[in-house]
């Protein structure tokens, strides 16, 4: 399965690049950014206490956008991974993301497009609950994975803002690992490897340089399952701020807030239930835009 997804990513990049090279007009536009951030602390006989540590985090984002006549086709690939080692502890994962999306719009009226949307999201490596038993993973590649397909309308008044209203949506949750599916992890029934939901989706995207050398981007996705507690809205909200220092150095902040009523989380007191999830990654390092 992992080889299939990697092959899919490679074929997507090759196909889009080939199409853009064949096109003799300027319908295709590409944009991308990659960054590698490191931090390190070394302590020897340090009387104030503390632990030595080293961490690294990187991401790679690329977008390919085709605009011609009444058609707009947007494709995105987002990859991220981070690791940390503190003291005598083993290396631990701090960030992990694999996301692919494609969106096709056909102009219906001023600023409004008929829209078809497809996205896929998973992670690369095993994930552990480091506050509990670290010998058993609680997530892994394709467990979970989310495949979302939707149709509706997209409001695009300019190049930096869009609002997708997609009342016909299908979301497939995949838990491919046998041990996790047996536990009914991530909302699937115990023993099942997939869960299909039918509902509505709202996608909001904003990306703009809000001041000199400071770029702000945010993506909010809301999903309601019409057939099971439609009032419990699933939320996935990401914020990315990039502050350019010079041509190759930048500081960036990335946050991700998730709420999914189907995912049960055990807190420090042993209570089990859905909870708001939050992740924040801050880094300063080498950044390159293309």
Taking the model in full, what pTM does it have? 0.88
pLDDT the model gives residue 16 = 52
In tens, the pLDDT along 177-214 reads 999 999 999 999 999 999 999 999 999 999 999 999 99
The torsion angle over the Cα atoms of residues 239, 245, 248 and 254, rounded to 10 degrees, is -10
Q: What is the pLDDT of residues 234-273, one digit of tens each?
A: 999 999 999 999 988 999 999 999 999 988 887 777 788 8
Residue 179 CA to residue 29 CA, distance in Å, equals: 43
Mean pLDDT split into 10-residue runs, the chain, 290 residues: 52 52 69 91 84 92 94 95 90 94 96 97 92 84 97 96 98 96 93 96 97 96 96 96 92 95 81 90 89
pLDDT of residue 22: 47
pLDDT of the residue at 42: 87
Domains of the chain: 27-289 (2.40.230)
In terms of Cα–Cα distance, which of 115, 94, 93, 88 is closest to 104?
115
């Amino acid at each position: 399965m992992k080889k299939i997804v990697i092959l899919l990513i490679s074929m997507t990049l090759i196909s889009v690049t080939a199409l853009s090279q064949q096109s003799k007009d300027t319908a295709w536009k590409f944009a991308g950014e990659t960054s590698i951030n490191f931090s390190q602390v070394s302590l020897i006989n340090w009387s104030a206490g503390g632990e030595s540590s080293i961490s690294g985090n990187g991401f790679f984002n690329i977008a390919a956008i085709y605009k011609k006549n009444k058609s707009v086709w947007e494709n995105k690939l987002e990859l991220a991974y981070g690791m940390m080692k503190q003291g005598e502890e083993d290396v631990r994962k701090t960030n992990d993301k694999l996301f692919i999306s494609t969106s096709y719009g056909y102009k219906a009226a001023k600023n409004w497009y008929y829209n078809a949307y497809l996205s896929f999201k998973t992670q690369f490596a095993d994930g552990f609950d480091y506050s509990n038993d670290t010998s058993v993973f609680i997530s892994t590649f394709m467990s979970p994975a989310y495949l979302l397909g939707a149709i509706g309308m997209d409001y695009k008044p300019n190049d930096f803002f869009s609002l997708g209203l997609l009342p016909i949506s299908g979301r497939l949750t995949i838990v491919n690992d046998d041990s996790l599916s047996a536990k009914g992890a991530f909302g699937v029934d115990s023993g099942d490897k997939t869960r299909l939901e039918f509902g509505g989706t709202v996608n909001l995207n904003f990306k703009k340089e809000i001041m000199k050398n400071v770029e702000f981007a945010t993506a909010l996705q809301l999903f309601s399952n019409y057939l099971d507690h439609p009032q419990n809205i699933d939320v996935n909200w990401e914020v990315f701020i990039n502050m350019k220092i010079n041509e190759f150095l930048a500081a960036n902040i990335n946050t991700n807030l998730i709420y999914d009523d189907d995912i049960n989380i055990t807190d420090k007191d042993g209570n089990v239930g859905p909870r708001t999830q939050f992740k924040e990654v801050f880094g300063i390092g080498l950044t390159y835009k293309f």
